[in-house]
Amino acid sequence: MNRLLLNKIILLLSTLSALIGISFLFWILATLSYKGITSIQWITFTKDLVEGGIRNLLVGQFTMALLATLVAVPVGMMAGIYLREYGHGSKLAAVIRNLSDVMMSAPSIVIGVFVFALLVDPFNGYNGWAGVVALSIMMIPIIISTTDNMLALVPQELREAGMALGGSKHKIILQIVVRAAKVGITTGVLLSFARIIGETAPLLFTSANNQFFTMDLTEQFPSLTVSIYNLATYPDEASRQLAWAASFILTTIVLIINLFGRFIIRNKK
Amino acid sequence: MGGKLFRNFSFFSATLSFFILVGIFAILFHYAQESLHEFGFDFLWNQQWEAGEDDEGGIFGGYIPIIGTLSSTVIAMAIAIPLAMGIAIFLTEIASVKVAKPVSVAIELLAAIPSIIYGMWGLFYFAPIVQATFGGNGVGLLTAGIVLAIMIIPFMAAITRDSMNTTPSVLKESAYAMGATKFEVIKDVIMPYSKGGIIGSIILALGRALGETMAVAFLIGSVMHTVGKVTDPTTSIPVLLANNFVEAEDLEMSSMYFLALILFVVSFIIISTAKFYFLGKKVK
Amino acid sequence: MAKENLVMELKNFSFTYAGASKPSLKKINLPIEKNKITAMIGPSGCGKSTLLRSMNRIHDLYSGNRYEGKINLYRADGSKQNILALKKENDFIKLRQEVGMIFQKPTPFPMSIFDNVAYGLRLSGIKNKTELQDRVEKALKGAAIWNETKDRLNESALGMSGGQQQRLCIARAVALKPRVLLFDEPTSALDPISTGAIEELIAEIKSEVSVVIVTHNMQQASRLSDYTAFMYLGDLVEFDKTDKIFLNPKEKLTEDYITGRFG
């Protein structure tokens, strides 16, 4: 076949692929917005699930995601610091890095099963803490990877300059290196928060769901995502509507956090 | 001194991943024992899934969910790979910088949409279209496979794009300088150079597709049947777990743990293989 | 050279990088005189940077390197310390407060100008606000950027130009009042005007601090330094007063390098 013709065809197909990709995005966002906006009412935000709103679900989902972040960020950052600053080059660090990456892509439902066996079954009941633990397990490897990669971007001379002034290693790491990587790490945390807050599978049998408003993490805990799953399968129109409203709000939150994170990184460059 | 404490804490945090991984494997293996002992490897070929009377005993086989997982993934990959490659090519070699930026963002937004949203949209908007085009019920293997493809395309495209971008400009320029067409430069210079990253991204996406739960749960039909036509409903391991795990008792639950173990081990192997391909190049 | 005039001295010093079979530096004997500028020149790969980096033991950030011989540091009170014998982290910290280093690429920390200069001071335990302000001002004056920075001490150091950043790094090092300052090709990343400013600075500093400078720019070495060491493939080929090296070198190798026959 003519070289130029083949070239044109491939380039055309590639452009077509991009168009298909974008159109799916718009299709999804369009239908979501349409169904979502038409389903939102005043009570959506002011009432809890038991009364046809999603107030407790929003609070619950945010709470668990926030708590998971509070656990995952220090642990993940410290692990990332170890991999890049202390263990750099060692075989052990390489192994840990690989394991952490595996955990990053591990099926979230399996993590749910694991935490169920650990924190739900022995206590004979779903509880919010189990949900937090499941979300943390998913978040930690992402933070590790982000920290590791962002620290790697800090030029070696900066570390040497710090040491040359008579700094001890851990002070240099905290006061100079991490600080230099601050923007990248923060963005990483934001993006992983956005990912965690949209998760369903790890919550299905850990924190399950709760129709009522509660902040008691020792019992079933309200979840926006789990509720969407349940509501979507109910036959009545009101439930479907609520599912759409919840889906729209969830997606809006996730996309805003994502865009915000990317905006930060673009500006601080 | 503060230094030692800091270092030790960072080491401990690093080893946490290892312990969690081992813990998951240990727990799954432990609770799968009952089923393992009862059925052994026949579990993999058995198509039955019936609880016994009074929830005692029963016969459980993982064939249907395993095949469901595999076939939905295969369908997804068949659709996703060419499209993702196309998008990556578009972003790196065709689009101008002004166009590439927003398209890139669009692709990354697609990746950020929670899987349950794909499920909702898929169930109410996409399934009817599949039904109209291919027949069947709308929910079934094909719909699940297609929506799964849509989910993994952004991920694969992004990593492939980053891989392709590591190709040094001088290499590309030398090829163009010999009169090669864009496609030839892509085929003969860029692809071979970024081969490791591209294959890695494909395998990684495969791993993701295997474990995908919520979207598939909405769309695959969730019935313990084998598939005659590609539009038939069936189930997959994550879907079976999502729907039936909590109500199962004893042997059935143990069989679920068995399935979870299989899924976990297979994912582990696949993701590790993907990492092997990334070894050459540090792609982001 | 009389011992009373020395601030550092390398004796039979050899250095082998981790994993290498042959040493990168072979039996170097080099005196560093107090309050003078000693330059190290030589073609790429001759080991001059390696030698410099041994003098504040910054190599020890990376494990597996091997030292032989001695590097003596002569303190103000007359005491002598073989810095190769140091093992504990505390000793390294003290060493680096006495022997400072300026790098090829300016390395401002991601903090304000004030905090940059105060960094080493805070590390060494100085907390008193007035004392810090005092010493930061002195250091910035000593590095000839006080006027340019006095009104923006709290702004990020990253907003400065390359030449300013390098002078900031010098101020930062000088604030600690070290005995020796090691400069590793400090102007190779800078434009000619900034280079000139830094060379002026280095010439002034030597009254307070002894200077060792690695440079691949021979004109710079002959302009600035009192003594010059010429290195080639890990050996110290010739060491003498700068005038002698450049006008009347003893070794043919030195002469060939100086006249540009290789390098």
pLDDT in tens, C208-230: 899 999 999 999 999 999 999 99
> How far is C96 from chain A, CA to nearest CA, in Å?
5
pLDDT at B196 over 80: yes
Confidence (pTM): 0.85
- Mean pLDDT (whole number) for A103-113: 93
pLDDT at B135 over 90: no
Residues of B in contact with A87 (CB under 8 A): 11, 14
- Mean pLDDT (whole number) for B238-259: 90
What is the share, in percent, of chain A residues with pLDDT greater than 70?
Answer: 99
Dig out the tokens for C95 from the structure.
């060493």
Q: pLDDT tier at B282 (50, 70, 90 boundaries)?
A: very low
> How far is A15 from chain B, CA to nearest CA, in Å?
6
pLDDT tens-digit series, residues A154-166 = 999 999 999 999 8
Dig out the tokens for A39 from the structure.
């389903």
Q: pLDDT tier at C233 (50, 70, 90 boundaries)?
A: very high
The helix, strand and coil proportions of chain C, stated in percent and rounded to the nearest 5, come to: 40, 25, 35
Question: Which among C61, C120, C169 has the least Cβ separation from residue A166?
Answer: C120
Inter-chain touch B27–A118, beta carbons under 8 Å: yes
Range of the domain at B185: 65-243+263-278
How is chain C split into domains, by residue range? Answer: 3-258
Residues of C in contact with A171 (CB under 8 A): 123
Least confident residue range of A177-186, B271-280, C179-188: B271-280
Least confident residue range of B128-132, B277-281, C121-125, C236-240: B277-281
Q: pLDDT tier at A269 (50, 70, 90 boundaries)?
A: low
Residues of C in contact with A168 (CB under 8 A): 89, 93, 123
pLDDT tens-digit series, residues C96-110 = 889 999 998 888 888
pLDDT of residue C214: 96
Chain-centroid distance of CA B279 in Å reads 21
> How far is C130 from chain A, CA to nearest CA, in Å?
21
pLDDT of residue C10: 95
Structure ipTM = 0.90
pLDDT at B265 over 90: yes
pLDDT of residue B54: 65
Residues of A in contact with B13 (CB under 8 A): 74-76, 78-79, 82
> How far is B236 from chain A, CA to nearest CA, in Å?
12
The stretches of C79-217 forming alpha helices (DSSP H) are: 89-98, 113-123, 129-142, 146-149, 162-174, 192-205
- Mean pLDDT (whole number) for A205-229: 92
> How far is B231 from chain A, CA to nearest CA, in Å?
20
Q: Indicate the average pLDDT of chain C.
A: 91
In a domain, B37, yes or no: no
Chains in contact with B, counting 3 or more C-beta pairs less than 8 Å apart as contact: A
In a domain, B168, yes or no: yes
What is the share, in percent, of chain B residues with pLDDT greater than 90?
Answer: 57
In a domain, B82, yes or no: yes
pLDDT at B94 over 80: yes
Instruction: Report DSSP state, residue C127.
Output: -
Give the chain B residue whose CA is nearest to the CA of A241.
Answer: B120
Q: pLDDT tier at B214 (50, 70, 90 boundaries)?
A: very high
pLDDT of residue C88: 83
- Mean pLDDT (whole number) for A142-153: 93
Chains in contact with A, counting 3 or more C-beta pairs less than 8 Å apart as contact: B, C
Interface probe for C, chosen from A165, A174, A176, A177 (most Cβ of C below 10 Å), is A165
Chains in contact with C, counting 3 or more C-beta pairs less than 8 Å apart as contact: A
C-alpha distance from residue A167 to each of A1, C91, C92, C97, C172 (Å)? 66, 11, 9, 9, 13
Q: CATH no. for residue B71? A: 1.10.3720.10
What is the share, in percent, of chain C residues with pLDDT greater than 90?
Answer: 67
Q: Number of A:C CB contacts under 8 A?
A: 68
Write the DSSP assignment of A171-240 as a string of letters. HHIIIIIHHHTHHHHHHHHHHHHHHHHT--HHHHTTT---SS----TTS----HHHHHHHHHHSSSHHHH
Q: pLDDT tier at C263 (50, 70, 90 boundaries)?
A: low
- Mean pLDDT (whole number) for B136-144: 90
Q: pLDDT tier at B169 (50, 70, 90 boundaries)?
A: confident
Question: Which among A35, A117, A170 has the least Cβ separation from residue B7?
Answer: A170
A88 contacts: CB under 8 Å, gap ≥ 6: none
Inter-chain touch A168–C89, beta carbons under 8 Å: yes
Residues of A in contact with B84 (CB under 8 A): 17
- Is residue A71 within 8 angstroms of chain B, CB to CB? no
pLDDT at B281 over 70: no
pLDDT at B246 over 90: no
DSSP SS3 for C237: strand
pLDDT of residue C1: 67
Give the phi and the psi of residue C182 in degrees, each rounded to 5.
Answer: -100, 125
* b/e C153-162 (16+ beta carbons within 10 angstroms → b): beeebeebee
Dig out the tokens for A74 from the structure.
């220090």
pLDDT at B284 over 60: no
What CATH architecture does domain A40-268 belong to? Orthogonal Bundle (1.10)
pLDDT of residue C63: 80
pLDDT of residue A51: 84
- Is residue A124 within 8 angstroms of chain B, CB to CB? no
Residue A246 · residue A231 · CB < 8 Å: yes
> How far is B43 from chain A, CA to nearest CA, in Å?
19
Residues of A in contact with C119 (CB under 8 A): 162, 165, 167, 175
How is chain A split into domains, by residue range? Answer: 40-268
- Is residue C2 within 8 angstroms of chain A, CB to CB? no
Q: pLDDT tier at B251 (50, 70, 90 boundaries)?
A: confident
Packing angle between helix B195-211 and helix A91-105, nearest 10 degrees? 50
Total tally of structural domains belonging to chain B: 1
Dig out the tokens for A263 from the structure.
């905006």
> How far is A151 from chain C, CA to nearest CA, in Å?
14
Inter-chain touch C110–A180, beta carbons under 8 Å: yes
pLDDT of residue B283: 40
- Is residue C124 within 8 angstroms of chain A, CB to CB? yes
Q: What is the CATH number of domain C3-258?
A: 3.40.50.300
- Is residue A27 within 8 angstroms of chain B, CB to CB? yes
Q: pLDDT tier at C28 (50, 70, 90 boundaries)?
A: very high
Inter-chain touch C103–A160, beta carbons under 8 Å: yes
Residues of C in contact with A180 (CB under 8 A): 109-110
pLDDT tens-digit series, residues B28-67 = 999 999 888 888 888 888 888 887 766 567 888 889 999 9
